[in-house]
Amino acid sequence: MLKVPYVTNYLTEHFADDSFATVAGYVARGGYAAARKAITQMSPDEIIGTLKGSGLQGRGGAGFNAGLKWSFMPKQTDLPKFLVCNADESEPGSFKDRILIERGPHQLIEGLLIGAWATGSEKTFIYIRGEYAYPAECMQAAIDEAYQKGYLGKDVMGTGFSHDVVVQRGAGAYICGEETGLLESLEGKRGQPRKKPPFPAQYGAFGMPSTVNNVETFSHVPHIIGKGADWFRQFGTEKSPGTTIFGVSGHVVRPGLFELPLGTKLEEIIFEHARGVPGGRKVKGVIPGGVSMPILPAGMLDVPMANEFLRERKTMLGTGGIVVMDETTCMVRVACVISYFFRDESCGQCTQCREGTGWMNKIVERIERGAGSEEDIEVLGDIAGKVEGATICAFADAASWPIQGLLRHFRSDFEQHVKLGKCPFPESFEL
């Protein structure tokens, strides 16, 4: 089991208490009041309006306005509508959804109920990554209890509203975290993203109108509906309101989870909350939001962790998974690890991604072995450019950006490998 966050806020403040994962414990802390209020006192439009007004950005990586996404669900339709909760947390460096499921499953269920009421959805599929066996158990236990106590199923809390929640476990593919790859996998098909349009709101799970949101996104919803958009906006920045759960890993003294307002400076997270780099070594580079987000060099740690600031530095918040690398780190090895991951996880349908991820990985591995050339570095950058933005889904971007980031800020690491004919960082982590 994971340790609960070192720094907590509204999402995680009760996570140290085991009873919070039970209906009684959750209700004792005001749980399910927001859902009751939503279903009995608010129209779907009011909820969506509140959510839009709160400025809640999707916490799955793309940062799309959640209320706006909900508003895309067709209102006039005879088709059944579905919610899909993306719990396929697979981005290396990210481990926040797991704690939200293990320690706050009813908070998530309450978010789902509000989402279901607002979008008119009759059922939620929680698609959880295959490796999350224990979180899946926790989730199922909470769902079972919620059914028992009348918080799910027919006539939820005596409101007349009905909603079902089903847990579907994945089989271990990163691409099934892409929302349409997830839908295909959910339907029992090979996990390959769909071309868009149509978007899930028109053609989602099993061809029905669907809204797909991340675990954390749904978990914020009860707080926003319960306490209002203005309350929510006291946290975070103007453009990126609320908190998020940063997951810090790598070369830090206190790796773990930290629920902090968006806009918290990266250096504050690393040096205050995660207590800095062990052994008094210096930071070399930091991945700010899971390995698909371009790396930041030590000189940019003053960036506030919100998309509007990160974008200026050609990177993004992603999933908030922060990976800190100290001065011993070989950035070519980092490129090897990341490119291997994306090569392994590409679904293989689009040409650029299928072939480009493999080619990039082969080149960086050759450079690391000391068998690379100046031209290889050029070709690497060129392939990364060709792979980006040219495919069905954003996976190819996710594979391209880290390489582009490493070349942008640490090109000299690559050049040194070429010049020396070997890796110049003997103390770096081993491949």
Partner 1 sequence: MPIITVDGVEYEVAAGRTLLQALDDLGVLMNGVDIPHYCWHPKLSVDGSCRLCQVEVEGIPKLQIACDTPVKDGMVIHTKNDRVKRAREGVMELLLVNHPLDCPICDQAGECKLQDYAYAYGVPHSRTKEPRRAAKKRVDLGPTIVLDQERCILCRRCVRFCREVPGTGELGTFGRGDRTVLDTFPGIALDNDYSMNVADICPVGALTTKDFRFKIRTWFLDEIPGVCTGCANGCNIFIGVANNKVYRYVPRRNDAVNQTWMCDAGRMSYKEIETADRLTGVSVRGPSGALEPAPLSTGIRVAAERLRRVADAKGASVIVGFGSAHATNEDLFTLRRLLSGLGTEAAAVPVVTGKADALLVKAEKAANGSGARALGFAEPGRVIERIRGGGADAAIVLGHDLLDASFLGDTADLARLDTVILLDSRRSDLERVAHVVFPTRHAAEKSGTLTNHAGRVQRILQAVEPRFESYADGEVLHRLGIALGLAGFEGDYDVRAVSREMARSVPAFAGIDLGSLGGEGAVLAGSKGEGER
Binding site for partner 1 (CB under 8 A): 173, 175, 190, 195, 343-359, 362-363, 366, 375-376, 379, 383, 386, 389-392
Which residue is associated with the tokens 């339709």? 77
- Minimum distance of partner 1 from residue 343's CB (angstroms): 5
Choice between 79 and 371, CB closer to partner 1: 371
Whether residue 221 contacts residue 115, with contact meaning beta carbons closer than 8 Å, is answered with yes
* Pairing state between β 243-250 and 296-297: unpaired
- Minimum distance of partner 1 from residue 382's CB (angstroms): 8
Choice between 120 and 385, CB closer to partner 1: 385
Choice between 22 and 346, CB closer to partner 1: 346
- Minimum distance of partner 1 from residue 347's CB (angstroms): 6
Choice between 199 and 359, CB closer to partner 1: 359
Which residue is associated with the tokens 């892409």? 178
2: tokens are 């994971």
- Minimum distance of partner 1 from residue 412's CB (angstroms): 23
- How remote is the C-alpha of 183 from its chain's centroid? 17
- Minimum distance of partner 1 from residue 396's CB (angstroms): 10
List the Cα angle 233/236/238 in 5-degree steps: 65
- Minimum distance of partner 1 from residue 177's CB (angstroms): 14
Choice between 233 and 362, CB closer to partner 1: 362
- Minimum distance of partner 1 from residue 359's CB (angstroms): 5
CA atoms of 215 and 205, how far apart (whole Å): 17
Which residue is associated with the tokens 């769902």? 143
Q: CA 139, 145, 149, 155: dihedral to nearest 10 degrees?
A: 50
Choice between 208 and 379, CB closer to partner 1: 379
CA atoms of 243 and 96, how far apart (whole Å): 12
Closest by Cα among 409, 406, 310, 397 to 357: 397
Choice between 154 and 386, CB closer to partner 1: 386
When computed from its CA atoms, the radius of gyration of the chain, rounded to whole angstroms, is 22
Give the DSSP letter of residue 281. Answer: P
- Minimum distance of partner 1 from residue 364's CB (angstroms): 11
Beta strands in 283-358 (DSSP E): 283-287, 296-297, 321-326
The Cα diameter of the chain in Å comes to: 72
Choice between 216 and 376, CB closer to partner 1: 376
Which residue is associated with the tokens 């008119």? 120
